[in-house]
Amino acid sequence: MQTPSYTFTPTRSANEALLHALAERFGAQLSTAQAVREQHGRDEGSIAAPPPDAVVFAQSTQDVADAVRLAAAHNTPVIAYGAGSSLEGHLLAIDGGISIDLSRMNQILSINAEDLTVTVQPGITRKQLNEALKHQGLFFPIDPGADASIGGMTATRASGTNAVRYGTLRENVLALEVVLASGETIRTGTRARKSSAGYDLTRLFVGSEGTLGIFTEITLKLYPLPEAVSAATCSFASIESAVRTVIDTIQMGVPIARVELLDGPTVAAVNRYSKLNLREEAMLLMEFHGSPASVQEQAQTVQDIASEHQGQAFEWADTPEERTRLWTARHNAYFAALQLRPGCRVITTDTCVPISRLADCLLASLQEVQASGIPYFLVGHVGDGNFHFGYLIDPDDSAERQRAEALSQALVARAIAMDGTCTGEHGIGIHKMHYLPEETGPGAVAVMRSIKQALDPQNILNPGKIF
């Protein structure tokens, strides 16, 4: 596997005729300003590309359909944009084209509390959604850390800290409204919890990263707010002890809601950034949901398991304010790590392995990065076998980038050899596309290409992503 090169020369940029047609249709909803284009031409990842040629600020399904139809008439790429928090180059206009910004489509269309479902527009963020739901005693549990848009989360099949108990977006999307590459709008799924009606198109579009269609409505499962919630931290003398605690917890069937791993240096960075005083050792950050009795039972079981692995300093955060402070600090670990090397960019890894192989994969990868001399941070949604190294590189040092990419390649090869995946939640985008054939095999990639060709014969929807 060769180290990827990221140099892009757009060949399908929007022509003057398309820009004129867009201006006539959208007026002030269209921008060609350099600053606006640049904002929509970068994400939180380390890959740089030219910005899109124009940005359409959609406010309705009809806006999206019309923008796609006009772009298709001029054979011009279209890239959906949500909150810009992706990490793998998903939203980069590598072949030119227009960006459709969906952030103004941020309404809750219906809440069906009796059925535990909600239908939303794609631009609403997870925090906005949960703020509206809490007054009805409900919440949407998928929490990737960033305040991502629901559309972007659905496009990347996101998961995050609560996935160990509540699953990923794949398990929590019931129905979609999708604009296809032709500009046609279709619906997939219903609010029913199950169906055997034909192909499962909903699952096909979830995780398709904007390459098969653009979401304009999304129907999600909801959950009652837990009667009791308790969070705790536990420190360990070694990463291995922390990971073994997690493995035993999952294998015993403890229904823990969240269990996050940070290594000692990452805890130190979080302390400095978030003004905390956590013990700067390998640490598990855990949360328990349920009735008061079940939460107490879960917590005691995990505390006993941790003690067997020399876990110490079990500290509780029982008030909402204390829990919020802890989880906010965890979600800001990425930004805390950036402060370790001002001006750096991050090459992120996103492997996920079966829980029984978690210790083997993580520890071998940790030894490699420590030997490399490249600054890094380590966090993980380890309850479902998913962890992230972030390699902090000088963006102008090509040799350092190559060393970091070599570390990423070694980690992915190790995970795949253990029946794992190159991406547990970030998606393929640009950065991980050279890993996909190794994981799925060329036959599976060929099937994906045939689906893409059938639904998007002009290859205008987010081209150059996934494969």
Residues in the chain: 467
Domain annotation covers residue 252: yes
Stretches where the chain sits below pLDDT 70 are 1-5
CA atoms within 13 A on the CB side of 284: 36
Report the alpha-carbon distance of residue 313 to residue 311 in Å, rounded: 7
Span between the terminal Cα atoms of the chain, in Å: 15
Distances (CA, A) of 19 to 16, 53, 236: 5, 9, 58
Q: Residue 2: what pLDDT?
A: 57
Domain annotation covers residue 231: yes
Dihedral (CA of 157, 159, 163, 166) sign: negative
The range of the structural domain enclosing residue 234 comes to 226-330
Distances (CA, A) of 358 to 157, 162, 261, 435: 21, 18, 12, 20
Give the tokens for residue 181: 């590459």
Closest CA to 59 of 29, 35, 81: 29
Domain annotation covers residue 443: no
Q: Residue 318: what pLDDT?
A: 78
Domain annotation covers residue 289: yes
Q: Residue 145: what pLDDT?
A: 82
For residues 209 and 466, is the Cβ–Cβ distance under 8 A?
Answer: yes
Domain annotation covers residue 409: no
334: CB partners within 8 A, 6+ apart: 44, 145, 346, 377, 390
- Bridging pattern class, strands 30-31 and 54-57: antiparallel
Strand pairing partners for 378? Answer: 389
Residue 282's CATH number:
3.30.70.2190
Total number of domains in the chain: 1
Closest CA to 438 of 464, 397, 458, 409: 409
Report the alpha-carbon distance of residue 451 to residue 344 in Å, rounded: 38
CA dihedral 318, 324, 330, 332 (to 10 degrees): -160
Report the alpha-carbon distance of residue 314 to residue 263 in Å, rounded: 16
Compute CA 74 distance to the chain's CA centroid, rounded to the nearest angstrom. 32
Q: Residue 445: what pLDDT?
A: 97
Report the alpha-carbon distance of residue 170 to residue 205 in Å, rounded: 10
Q: What is the pTM of this model?
A: 0.94
